[in-house]
A and B are shown apart, each in its own frame.
Chain A
């Protein structure tokens, strides 16, 4: 019986790279998109990025689980 394929779960590390790893890297950028401090924009966009990543993983999980359940029948 083949196991469900959850390798796509590694995508969940990406939000950490963006919002935590990226923080010190973008701290001194002086550009102000829409008058906002760049480090703040980085985090705001990071939030949207994170939701997207989780949504993608969610879809891939559903697909993997459906494939597994179908194999069982």
Chain B
């Protein structure tokens, strides 16, 4: 009972806190306020929202699970975060500047503004929503797993997934981005406490003398674990995989619609840049996450169904007292709820503004808000449905989300780098990219480019087609806009 009570207390406490916090702030009357927090976020809030993106279930449960199952491939977390910070340093101020100059609210707005084509923004919105739903699938998968493992197996997969979705929706419905910011702060603090607690005690639980000794022992037990391809060479996770997957994540990271739009909410360019400087350092904490995965391996953890996502959870439930399990479970719930809410929020605003509103031009601010909230219910339902159909590692689902969002990457980068890129070219690129992602082609890529992350291959094809078609049709398209500002 202690476990259930604590878990619930943490989650409900954060919800109430977030609601109170957002009530104190400005009343939400408009989409802009709801979606981008009124463009006033200073370094602190911006920081938390960003850091919060790093500590998600993908990161904690997914990466520790990867370390437990494969070993070295978990280093993906160490590589992709810092490289995406480098790209962010270059890319984010540009996005921010465009957002400010043209009053942009969503990612699709950006495409419409730059490529002067409303139809393209509809396509982009749909593509963005698709990627977001896949990402939400990660959070719901994780949340329903936590609910089932810690609250007892009487909870059915369907019920737990639905409860997870309902909780996420509740989180975001009242005040939008601002409540997520508060909850992200709570989540990060709790995560810190939990990780410190687990790391301080993990060594003794597995018979090691120190944290470093855990690493020593696991390498003694499995000599190949520290290098690629890790424990299971048949999974194909080689150093080529690391290189291409990390690049795919780094290039695609800021193209994720909610992170793209986060750029709009910063106060100034300096905030963004300073954030980029420190962002890589967050990922040093993966040292501890990976260590915990290795500890689980040493402990001989055997999660139900061999589910890699459950490795850390199982380790905790087997070796720790009820209050610690409750604390961990509650925090892990927040890890899923907070990012999940932000994702749904983004998908909802994308839909209402860039797909629905073009269809119903007389829609007012309040109508937009309503459409946004209703559509997010639908997206949550789709994510639940996807969750029930699959049973994959959170990292693998995550890489699919990055592959999906990578379809929009050429459009964004070309927007800043190449004046001749036009709407038709970008669209052709997107189509070509999705075709390249079809499962039918996977064996072909595996043969031509062994070990390459498919998402990156598709992104490259996308970019090449986009460039080719842009050049071919440029005689018949309107002259490009004036050059974008460069910072």
Which A residues have a C-beta under 8 Å from some C-beta of B?
A: 9, 12, 15-16, 19-21, 23-24, 27-28, 32, 34-40, 43-44, 46-48, 50-51, 53-55, 57-58, 61
Contacts and interface: CB of A to CB of B under 8 A. Distances in A.
B78 A28 contact: no
A32 B216 contact: yes
Contacts of A20: 79, 83, 242-243, 246-247
A42 to B, nearest CB: 9
Contacts of B227: 27-28, 37-39
B306 to A, nearest CB: 24
Given A24-B240, A51-B277, A58-B273, A40 B78 contact: yes
Given A27-B239, A32-B216, A40 B72 contact: yes
Given A35-B216, A37-B219, A46-B79, A27 B280 contact: no
Nearest to B284: A47
A40 B75 contact: yes
Contacts of B63: none
Interface in B4-62: none
A4 B90 CA distance: 15
Nearest to B274: A58
Contacts of B278: 51
A38 B277 contact: no
Nearest to B276: A54
B82 A46 contact: yes
A23 B239 contact: yes
A32 B219 CA distance: 10
23 contacts: A9-B90, A12-B86, A15-B83, A16-B83, A16-B86, A19-B246, A23-B228, A24-B228, A24-B240, A32-B226, A35-B213, A37-B227, A39-B72, A39-B75, A39-B228, A44-B287, A47-B81, A47-B281, A47-B284, A48-B284, A51-B85, A51-B278, A54-B85
Contacts of A19: 78-79, 82-83, 246
